[in-house]
A and B are shown apart, each in its own frame.
Chain A
Amino acid sequence: MSVFDPVEASHAAPSDGRSWLERIPVAYWVVGLALLIMPAIAGDFMLFQIFGWTFILGLIALGLMFLGGYGGMVSLAQMSIAGVGGYMVAIFGVSAIDTISLGWPWYVAIPIALVIAMLFGTLTGWLAVRTEGIYTIMITLAIAAAFFYFARQNYVMFNGFSGFNGVLPPMLFGVDWRDPAAFYYLTLFWAALGYLVVLYISRAPFGLALQGVRDNPRRMSALGYNVTAHRVAAYTFAALLAAIGGILLTWQSAQISPGTAGIGPAIDILVIAVIGGMRHPVGPFIGAFIYVILKTYAIDALVTLGLAGERFQLLIGVAFLAIVFWSPDGIIGLWDRLREDRKRDPLTGRGGEGP
């Protein structure tokens, strides 16, 4: 083997002496900068309602993308776990329902909420990993439905139908975190952190092994991995993402009620992950943005067209159907195919690489 072996050369590429800062792709700089200066451009409604909501739903769906994309497990309980996080913050922290809320300070209430939500997620996973495919979806849907009805009928802890209002973020550093610009940065921070952590873990032993379990559980077992434990741990991590999202969601609307974690929202999270794409952690955020835009502007669009505004669900449904019809692997899949088409030779129809 010669010293100037081509394989060695290609291996050297990832560590070619550039600092980690220089190796960040251009797209990250552009998107990152745009998101950072957004408050200077966009109005309060845009910041708080459109972007804030997108980041929150994206974060909850990111957990599903982690489970589904890397682990091959589709869970419908993500929104219930988010709901548990929101409820626990309301119960242990401060809310307008002071007969139930314990009023503990945020630095106690939030960790407790995260831990309980992760325990709930772990338990869900522990039940769900015994099943595969459609049965996983069914069992997690059953858990989501059970949580919804339990929260609606339990008045001692969950305050039944009306839930909790007046659940506000702490006035940390003297900032009102529900001020649109502050809330925008708060949700952006957690969404970006979640995105980067998922991206990082996908190349760490835990994430690599999870993808191995997805592709070939029998082989992973024969390599010394406890496949069940690995799957359950993936649920725990996804639950952490959902719980952070759930707490932010509760702060955004300043309330949490059973409807927040109902069957509809549970399915919406799946829809968000699917239309965005499950193959890359950016998918859930793209999906969440489309979902939020449709949900917010569908009524106006219909009224402008002279149609009845109450049919907005129909428009949303048709839009999702169209996306899934033309690109079963979501917007990311569509994007990948467009890029490949551009590389394609116009005469032979072959791609830029390979024979």
Chain B
Amino acid sequence: MNAVLDAGSTISERLGATGTANALELKGVSKYFGALAALSDVDITVRPSERRAVLGSNGAGKTTLFNCVAGDFPSTTGTIRFFGEDITQFPPHERIRRGLRRTYQISLLFTGLTVLDNIFLACVGVSRSRFSFLQPGRDDALMASAENLVRVVHLEDARDEQVATLSYGQQRQLEIAMALAGAPRFILFDEPAAGLSPTERSELIEILVGLPTHMGFIIIEHDMDVALRVAESVTMMHNGRIFKEGSPAEIEDDPEVQALYLGGDDG
């Protein structure tokens, strides 16, 4: 009897490793900065291809959550599984090579390089050419995919501009292009719409909605309009904890959420 159960569990584990597992599975993840709990005991499960919005006020722990998942700094406790694999102890580059991507709220771009070079670096990072001493040739595959990403985020006109000369909105678009390099399986978008004009905002929504349907993501977003248009499920965070989870409609109608988050906004 036990043998049968064991056999069953190994099969499910194998299936897990081959892609039917959840894209992201956090169990009891906490992050302490000294005595301050930026995240406490967070459990989140996101299916592959699921699009989840994370809402919450400043200091709710949203970016800390991303930093723990992407490995920018390690979580204090808990386990993080990515498509079934335990990545809790992995350095960031190992997580990225497995198909996880993230964008940054404060642009961490290479301002001295051109738009194309920034995206090219992102494409090289997840390829085997990282240590290549040879310059990309005319028909370089990585350069071609970089040029393709320039088009995906509508930056054709700024392709050869130095990033330092780009507008804020263009830099946000470049952030997204860099997260799409290689073969992403799951993306963490950290407030991609912050500081954008209404026009840029609708362009951003267009890009996010236009992503391949198998590509799941979590998006941190203050703007409910953006969050609810691109996400099919919503997680509310408050003081480093998961406060509510549900569909956009459920969250919008929840009286507790309204009191906490939407209360002050009569519009």
Known contacts A7-B157, A200-B135; decide if A219 and B130 are in contact (CB<8 Å): no
Whether the Cβ atoms of A201 and B133 lie closer than 8 Å is: yes
Interface residue from A5, A201, A209 paired with B121 (Cβ < 8 Å)? A209
| Interface residue? B156 (CB, 8 A) | yes
Whether the Cβ atoms of B133 and A224 lie closer than 8 Å is: no
Whether the Cβ atoms of B134 and A204 lie closer than 8 Å is: yes
Whether the Cβ atoms of B156 and A225 lie closer than 8 Å is: no
Chain A residues closer than 8 Å to B122, beta-carbon distance:
223
Interface flags for B117-141 (1: CB within 8 Å of A; 0: not) read 1001110111001111111101000
Question: Nearest Cβ in chain B — how far from A352, in angstroms?
Answer: 16
| Interface residue? A153 (CB, 8 A) | no
Complex-state Cα separation, A212 to B178, whole angstroms: 14
Whether the Cβ atoms of A218 and B72 lie closer than 8 Å is: yes
Whether the Cβ atoms of B110 and A223 lie closer than 8 Å is: no
Known contacts A1-B156, A212-B121; decide if A221 and B92 are in contact (CB<8 Å): yes
Known contacts A7-B157, A11-B160, A208-B117; decide if A224 and B131 are in contact (CB<8 Å): no
Interface flags for B92-136 (1: CB within 8 Å of A; 0: not) read 110011000010100011111100010011101110011111111
Whether the Cβ atoms of A7 and B125 lie closer than 8 Å is: no
Complex-state Cα separation, A225 to B159, whole angstroms: 23
Question: Nearest Cβ in chain A — how far from B142, in angstroms?
Answer: 8
Interface flags for A201-237 (1: CB within 8 Å of B; 0: not) read 1011110110110011011111111110010010000
Whether the Cβ atoms of B108 and A218 lie closer than 8 Å is: yes
Interface residue from B110, B125, B156 paired with A224 (Cβ < 8 Å)? B125
Whether the Cβ atoms of A222 and B110 lie closer than 8 Å is: no
Chain B residues closer than 8 Å to A209, beta-carbon distance:
121, 124-125, 130
Q: Residue of B at shortest CB range from A1?
A: B156
Whether the Cβ atoms of A206 and B156 lie closer than 8 Å is: no
Whether the Cβ atoms of A219 and B108 lie closer than 8 Å is: yes
Question: Chain A: how many interface residues by the 8 Å CB criterion?
Answer: 30
Considering residues B102, B110, B156, B159, which has the most beta carbons from chain A within 10 angstroms of its beta carbon?
B110
Whether the Cβ atoms of B93 and A225 lie closer than 8 Å is: yes
Chain A residues closer than 8 Å to B134, beta-carbon distance:
204-205
Q: Residue of B at shortest CB range from A227?
A: B93
Chain A residues closer than 8 Å to B93, beta-carbon distance:
221-227
Known contacts A221-B91, A222-B72, A227-B93; decide if A205 and B104 are in contact (CB<8 Å): no
Whether the Cβ atoms of A205 and B110 lie closer than 8 Å is: no
Whether the Cβ atoms of A205 and B91 lie closer than 8 Å is: no
Complex-state Cα separation, A227 to B158, whole angstroms: 28
| Interface residue? A10 (CB, 8 A) | yes
Whether the Cβ atoms of B132 and A206 lie closer than 8 Å is: yes
Complex-state Cα separation, A134 to B264, whole angstroms: 51
Q: Residue of A at shortest CB range from B142?
A: A205
Whether the Cβ atoms of B133 and A219 lie closer than 8 Å is: no
Complex-state Cα separation, A211 to B112, whole angstroms: 10
Question: Nearest Cβ in chain B — how far from A279, in angstroms?
Answer: 11
Q: Residue of A at shortest CB range from B126?
A: A224
| Interface residue? B61 (CB, 8 A) | no
Whether the Cβ atoms of B129 and A224 lie closer than 8 Å is: no
Whether the Cβ atoms of B136 and A205 lie closer than 8 Å is: yes
Interface residue from B70, B124, B138, B157 paired with A205 (Cβ < 8 Å)? B124
Q: Residue of B at shortest CB range from A6?
A: B157
Complex-state Cα separation, A212 to B111, whole angstroms: 10
Chain A residues closer than 8 Å to B158, beta-carbon distance:
7
Chain B residues closer than 8 Å to A219, beta-carbon distance:
104, 108-110
Chain A residues closer than 8 Å to B70, beta-carbon distance:
222
Known contacts A209-B121, A224-B182, A225-B125; decide if A204 and B97 are in contact (CB<8 Å): no
Name A3-53 residues within 8 Å CB distance of B: 5, 7, 10-11, 15
Whether the Cβ atoms of B112 and A215 lie closer than 8 Å is: yes
| Interface residue? B54 (CB, 8 A) | no
| Interface residue? B181 (CB, 8 A) | yes
Complex-state Cα separation, A40 to B130, whole angstroms: 45
Chain A residues closer than 8 Å to B71, beta-carbon distance:
221
Q: Residue of A at shortest CB range from B103?
A: A222
28 A-B residue pairs with CB within 8 Å: A1-B157, A5-B156, A5-B157, A7-B158, A10-B160, A11-B159, A15-B138, A201-B133, A204-B132, A205-B132, A206-B132, A211-B112, A212-B110, A212-B121, A215-B110, A215-B112, A219-B104, A219-B109, A221-B71, A221-B72, A221-B91, A221-B92, A222-B70, A223-B121, A224-B97, A224-B126, A226-B91, A230-B131
Chain B residues proximal to chain A, CB less than 8 Å: 70-72, 91-93, 96-97, 102, 104, 108-113, 117, 120-122, 124-126, 129-136, 138, 156-160, 178, 181-182
Nearest 7 CB-CB pairs, A to B?
A223-B125, A224-B125, A224-B96, A219-B108, A224-B126, A221-B92, A205-B132
Known pairs A209-B125, A225-B130; list 5 more (Cβ under 8 Å): A209-B121, A220-B121, A223-B122, A223-B181, A224-B125
Chain A residues proximal to chain B, CB less than 8 Å: 1, 5, 7, 10-11, 15, 200-201, 203-206, 208-209, 211-212, 215-216, 218-227, 230, 233
